[in-house]
A = this chain, B = another copy of it.
Amino acid sequence: MAKIGDKVSVEHKDKRYDGILMPSEEDSKDILILKLVNGYNIGFDKKETKVKVLESAREYKFPSAKLTKDKKLPKIVIITTGGTITSKVDYKTGAVHPLIRPEELLAQVPELSKIANIEIKNPFAVLSEDMTSKNWRDLAKEVMKALNSDAIGVIVTHGTDTLAYTASALSFMIKDLNKPVALVGGQRSSDRGSFDGALNLICAAYYCCSDIAEVSVVMHGTSSDDYCLAIPGTKARKMHTSRRDAFRPVNSLPFAKIYNKGMIELIRKDFNKRSTGKVKLDNKFEKKVALVKFAPGQGPGVVDYYAKQGYKGIILEGTGLGHVAITGLNSWIKSIQQAVKKGIFVGITSQCLYGRTDLFVYSNGRKLLDAGCIQLGDMLPETAYIKLGWALAHVKNSEDVKKLMLENISKEISEKEDPKSYLY
């Protein structure tokens, strides 16, 4: 009889799968969960499997490294918020353990203590998808404190799924940024051979030593361990569910490539430079904002729904240059007009992701503008969603919201497209 943590071989529909037996979920005891050698889990109907024990479970011990202080080194604050990068699977119990003790993180990435003296803060531990605006606000406060300390820069570790949303939130919530802020995650947990968090953390530490006083996502540039990209927080997007080079800049070049030995190759030179001032916290956020993706055949009822629920703003992800249906029964015009009349901000982005909205090209687009939509250029839909929540907490009057949304606050809007940024 196989026990949790055993190395087993599972036969299922004439195929064989080797891996570690994980505990089943409380509510689905009939599903056998196996952690494959590649680190991923797979579920099988227990009735359809034959299980053979290959090796009994071994006790797992977390490694630990001593936190030292070297007076010659600068200080970097690492703020952990949860997610794969600071997690480790205990194969004995199958539970995912957060690594919150600094010694554990440093044991994973011993190189860090050669770059800087690390101070670790852990305001909360939340999985990516469960992040809320409260988390963004709390985190911004923590980042503000670290930036106004003697640290040379701040690293935020975060689940990768919504890391780009949080990067956007920090980009808007911290004013007069004076030092580098790097957001890093891990696409693989630290118990796996392909753990990517180590290089991401090392490159983030080097990024903190640079003059780039911007909120950047610092993640693998390629699927190997050669360099990371520092991507503007408002222009970063998770473009792949599992690859280590999942984060790409959209409608932007990265600020820099950062190599694992610390070499920084600048790509964008228009970054905000390190300065000596203090940052200000500007983390008010209006929660009643929605992101709505349009699909052909889809009616506008969802806009009416959000309007009725008292939402203050809606970001539409239109097709192509920023379109939604405007003729026949499916027309969105009336619903948008009514929402705008109610004072709801309706912003238009493109589901293409790359490129920019342009509602002047076709008459359908001009009708949307007439209905009161505001086109948001090359802003990512996700960034626009975050920015709108932030903007609506700052100004109330429609004209002021529009002005703020169209103002380039943290590189979320580009004037011109560099052709090299397409599918970078």
Contacts and interface: CB of A to CB of B under 8 A. Distances in A.
A419 B352 contact: no
A296 interface: yes
Contact of A297 (B41, B133, B238, B309): B133
A6 interface: no
A320 interface: yes
A214 interface: no
Interface in A360-413: 360-364, 366-367, 369-370, 382, 385, 389
Nearest to A350: B241
Q: Residue among A293, A364, A389 with the most chain B CB within 10 A?
A: A293
Given A33-B360, A40-B358, A360-B43, A132 B419 contact: no
B162 A355 contact: no
A423 B301 CA distance: 34
Contact of A242 (B42, B358, B385): B358
A319 B240 contact: no
Given A25-B363, A293-B293, A423-B248, A325 B241 contact: no
Given A42-B360, A364-B129, A297 B241 contact: no
Interface in A239-266: 239-243, 246, 248
A130 B43 contact: no
A296 B240 contact: no
A330 interface: yes
A171 interface: no
A354 B240 contact: yes
A100 B357 CA distance: 28
Given A43-B369, A241-B320, A242-B355, 4 more contacts: A28-B370, A43-B366, A238-B352, A293-B293
Interface of A: 25, 27-28, 31, 33, 40-43, 96, 127-133, 159-162, 165-166, 223, 238-243, 246, 248, 287, 290-298, 301-302, 305, 309, 317-328, 330, 350, 352-358, 360-364, 366-367, 369-370, 382, 385, 389, 419, 422-424
16 contacts: A25-B367, A27-B370, A40-B361, A41-B358, A129-B318, A130-B327, A130-B364, A131-B297, A161-B320, A161-B321, A166-B296, A238-B320, A291-B293, A291-B298, A293-B317, A302-B305
Q: Would you list the 5 A-B pairs with minimal beta carbon distance, nearest first?
A: A241-B355, A161-B320, A161-B319, A129-B323, A41-B360
